[in-house]
Structure formats: C-alpha cells, structure tokens
Amino acid sequence: MAVTIKTAEEINKMRIAGRLAADVLDMIGEHVKIGVSTEELDTICHDYIVNAQQAIPAPLNYHGFPKSICTSVNHQVCHGIPGGKKLKNGDIINIDITVIKDGFHGDTSRMFIVGEGSILTRRLIDITRQAMWKGIEMVKPGVHIGDIGHAIQTLVESSGYSVVREYCGHGIGREFHEDPQILHYGTPGNGLTLQAGMCFTIEPMVNAGKRQIKLLPDKWTVVTKDRKPSAQWEHTLAVTEDGFEVFTLGAEERS
Ligand code: MF3
Ligand code: CO
Ligand code: CO
C-alpha cells in the first residue's frame, strides 16, 4: 500500500481521533490498581469508547482480535489479550488504545505501574518513554525513517536494554496499519524520506533483557524469550511543514 499524504481536513479528523484515544488512557489510569483484572479494564474502556465517545474500538475483531484494548503485563511485549487474571503489586502494564472516529484512527499506549514499582521497572519505563520522544523529536520533512530508528536504538542500547525488531510503528489514517513501517532501530540516512502530511505511529518496545521474543499459542500475545520485563509507549503524529504534531498527547502532556 502506498504512503498516503493527508489533507488539512483529514489531519483534523486524525487530531480528533487521536485526542479521543488519549482521553481513554487518561480515563483508565485510576482504574489500574491491585486486584483489578485486565478484562475489567477492557470493559471499562469499551463502554467509554462506544457510549461516551461514540467511537469504535479498533482492535475488536481486527484480524480476529477478541477484545477492545490490548493489555500487556510484565514480560508481555505487546498485543496481550485482556483476561481474568488480576493485577498485583509491582506489575507493569501497557494499555494500548486505538479508536476510530469519523473514519480515522488514533492509536496510543502508555505504561502503568500497579502499586509500587521496582527501581528496574521504573527505569525501563522511563528509558522507553524517552526513546519514543527521541524518535518523535527527529520528525520533520527531509528526515529519513532510519534517522528515527537510529535515535531510538542509540538511547535504548546505551542504557543497557534492547529494541524489539519484529514489530514496528506504522502509517495510520483510514486504515489501522498503513505504510510506511517505522522501525525502532536503523541507520541514519536510510529508508523513506518524510514529507509533510504523512501520519504514523512511533511505538518502541524495549526489553530489559535480550531482544528475542516469542508468540504465545493464543497467536496474539508476544512475550520476551528470557521472561524479563518489556515496556512500550506509543503516540500517533503527523509530519508538519516544520516538524511534527502529536495527536495523542494526554492531559498532562498538553499542560
Ligand atoms: N494498537 C496496536 C498497534 O499499536 C495494534 C493492536 S492490533 C490488535 O499497532 F489486533 F492486537 F489489536
Ligand atoms: Co500502533
Ligand atoms: Co497501538
């Protein structure tokens, strides 16, 4: 599929969808606590998206995904399926929200700590967030996709962590996953040149241990092979004439 360049009108719809996805994460934060199950978090998000936002939870039935959000706990890297297991003190969880509003997608994820996090998990979460922002701050017309990946990879590896290579950021718009692929590792100057109007996600998955992963028999949940924890943050953004615009900033990031 070709890379689409969004018109001003389409960018505005992306802005609205992105804001709604961020609002879901702002809403769910207070529910992430000891004893809650990821299935309960899914239900709360589903109802909020469908009823309060009058939007569509994009993951539900996407290539057969059975729930409305992805919840990836501890050594789960991404695409965790909400279930009956309850969160316990010290767990870390990525909640990944994608909504469709007026035909356009907004896709964003954050890490939450349940109760008290360890020094290691707090640092992992922090470095991963910094890595996402390093990637975002590279974005402007003329920059190559490899420049984004290189910035992310450099910070992650110099911190002693590893970048997952099998999953990447993606173009986004009328489709959930469009071209181009945004790799979270790379070589400066390599890959597609960015142009104003392109919209994509940056969503690095960072492992505390080795980068190798495996897929669970449910065919969705991705876990680290060494069972060490993994973190991920995700924003949806556009390339503007002189830089970038992030559509999925949360209330805290907007203030
Ligand atoms: N939201 C994920 C992403 O960032 C994709 C989830 S696909 C699903 O691209 F089917 F697992 F929901
Ligand atoms: Co995404
Ligand atoms: Co996502």
Model pLDDT for residues 179-203, shown as the tens digit of each residue: 999 999 999 999 999 999 999 999 9
| Ligand 1 atom with the shortest distance to the CA of 97 | 1
Q: Beta strand 169-171 with 213-215: parallel, antiparallel or unpaired?
A: unpaired
Going from N- to C-terminal start, the domains of the chain cover: 8-253
For the CA of 177, the nearest atom of ligand 1: 9
Report how far Cα 88 is from the mean position of its chain's Cα atoms: 23
Q: How confident is the model at residue 2 (pLDDT cuts 50, 70, 90)?
A: confident
Please write the tens of the pLDDT for every residue from 200-235: 999 999 999 999 999 999 999 999 999 999 999 999
Q: Where are the alpha helices (DSSP H) in the chain?
A: 8-28, 38-47, 119-137, 145-158, 251-254
End-to-end CA separation in angstroms for the chain? 37
**For residue 76, which ligand has an atom nearest its CA?**
1
For the chain, give the mean pLDDT: 98
What is the C-alpha separation between 222 and 121, in angstroms, rounded?
18
- Residue whose Cα lies nearest atom 11 of ligand 1: it is 79
Q: What is the pLDDT, as a whole number, of residue 202?
A: 99
Predicted model pTM? 0.98
pLDDT of the residue at 1: 75
Helix and strand numbers, DSSP H then E, in the chain: 5, 15
pLDDT at 52: 98
Ligand 3 centroid vs 109 CA: distance in angstroms?
A: 6
Residues near ligand 1 with C-beta < 6 Å? 59, 62-63, 65, 70, 79, 96, 98, 107, 201, 203, 220, 234
Q: Which CATH class is domain 8-253?
A: alpha beta
| 11-64: pLDDT as tens digits | 999 999 999 999 999 999 999 999 999 999 999 999 999 999 999 999 999 999
Q: What is the mean pLDDT of residues 122-139?
A: 99
